[in-house]
Each structure stands twice: as structure tokens, then as C-alpha cells.
Amino acid sequence: MMKKVFTNHAAVVFFAVLCNVLWGSAYPAIKIGYELFNITDNVFDKLLFAGVRFVSAGFMVLVLSAAVYKKPPKLRKQTVPYVCVMAFLYTAMQYVFFYVGLSNTTGTNGSIVNSMQTFLAVILAHFIYKDDKLSAGKIAGSIIGFIGVLAVTVSGGRAHFSFMGEGFIFIAAVCFVAGSVISKKATESDSAMTVTGYNLFLGGILLAAVGVCGGGRLSGAGMSGVLNITYLAFLSASAFTIWTLLLAYNPVSRISIYNFIIPVSGTILSAVFLGEDIWDIRYAISLVLVCAGIVTVNKS
């Protein structure tokens, strides 16, 4: 039943778009969380904040898994190493590099470099999976989608690149792609819910530990802070679970192209919730190009 749902074309499009809109909504939600918890430029405060978010998300998924399968979520012995690597790469290291990198560059450059994960996924899938080879359509679609990201994130000025900034964000993108590939392997022997739950929970513990060891702290934010963390945990729990299911039943390149939606939805939702100017022709152009790239890859 699960395979039938997550291989249906209309369902794949809906769930893939939903995941990336949810991830895009994390941008304004995180910024609001920083204000609520009085987090400024301290990277360790941010890592502790992320750690609490992912531990909570992992707990949510594991509770849901127990309810759905009516038994405690338990990993098979052969899946444990994959999930441990996922927790380290996919969750912990990705966000360590992402947060440190974002502290040393602009949001614009960060969005552009982070969207490179789509190209990396398409290329890596070509060498790993026999049924997921590169084609002219996949290459063209990826380029069109990337131009769409450029359209919404570039508004003039000279770009500056540094290893501790854009370089770290690129490494974070590599961690995400590697984690996606390992996730596909892990779900061959265990359910996507169980794999996702332990990945988020263990990765969150690692992030929180680094934050605490570095002197990170979260000031009391009251009920507003609790609701903010709850929403961020929920979006991570739902998006990562659905994404893991999509990767389990579909070619990596077909699913990864939807990642171009993240910076676009993140920019638009930031404009809506943070009071920025949304009436800009760049948003319309970007959405059209990203959608065109997705259609091109799917047709190929």
C-alpha cells in the first residue's frame, strides 16, 4: 500500500512539493525562534536550538511509528550502522556546517550554494544506481531550476566566496546528498518512520551536545518559544519522514529536483511572515523557472 501511494505520479509531486515548502517555512520560523530565545551571533546557541528541535522531531516520529505499527520502534541489526552514519552526516554534520557557514556569508550566497545539492544528487545517482542515469533532460532541468534559484536570490552586487562561509555550506549540501543515498539503503530493511525517527533523535543529541559543550544556552521564551520549537520539530518530523519514503520508492534524481523549491518558498514565506516586500517580479520568474526545471526532469 505504501509503495503504491509513493510511486503514484500525482502523489509524488504533491508530497515532494509539500516537503520542500515545509523546509522552506523553516527559514522564517528559525529567525522568529532566534528572536524569541535571544539568539544572536553565537553559533553554539544556534546548534543547541537545532539540537532541541531535532531531538523533539525524532521523538515525535518514534511515537508515531509505535502507534502505527503497534510495537516499539526497533532497528534491525544490519540497519543500525546506516542510521548512525545518517545521524552523523544527514542531521548533525549537515547543520553544523550549515550554521557555521551561514554565519560567515550572506543569506543570498548561502541559498545559491545550498541549492547545489540538487546537482550533486543527480550526478551521484548516475554512478550509484543503474536505473537513475544522467540524461539531457535531467541536466537541462537542473540548470533551469538553478537559474530559477538565482533569479530569486540575486539582486545585484558582487559575490564574495570564502571557505568558512560558502565552502562550509557546500560541505553541508554534500552531507545532505550522502545522507539521502544512505537513507535509501537503510529503508531496504526497516520502515521509513523508524529510520527517520532514530536519525533525527540521535543527530539532535549530537547537535545539542556540541552546543552545550561550546557554551550554548537558550533563554526562557515562554509559551511562544515552546510553540515555535514544536512547529519546527513537527515540520522536520513530517518532511523527513515523507522524504525518506519518497527516496525509498523513487529514483534519487527524480525526487532531488524538487529541492530547488526550498530557497524559493523560503524567500516568499520569509517575506510573508517577516514583513518583507513580496511584490517582486523575481518571485514569479523564479517560480516559473523552478517549475519548468522540475517538469523537464520528470519528463526525461
Domain ranges for the chain, please list them: 7-299
Cα distance between residue 33 and residue 18, in whole Å:
22
Query: Which pTM value belongs to this model?
Result: 0.82
Among 58, 4, 3, 103, smallest CA distance to 241 is for: 58
CB distance 264 to 102 below 8 Å: no
Q: How far is CA 206 from CA 53, 261, 262, in A?
A: 12, 28, 25
CB distance 105 to 165 below 8 Å: yes
Among 227, 258, 229, smallest CA distance to 242 is for: 258
Per-residue confidence in pLDDT tens, the chain, 300 aa: 677 877 888 888 899 999 989 988 888 888 888 889 988 878 899 999 999 999 999 999 999 999 988 888 889 899 999 999 999 998 999 888 887 887 776 655 666 677 777 777 777 777 777 766 777 887 888 888 888 777 766 655 555 567 888 788 889 888 988 888 888 888 888 888 999 999 999 999 999 999 999 998 888 778 899 999 999 999 999 998 999 889 888 887 778 778 778 877 877 787 777 776 666 677 777 778 777 877 787 676
Using N-to-C axis directions, what is the helix angle for 168-186 and 107-114, rounded to 10°? 40
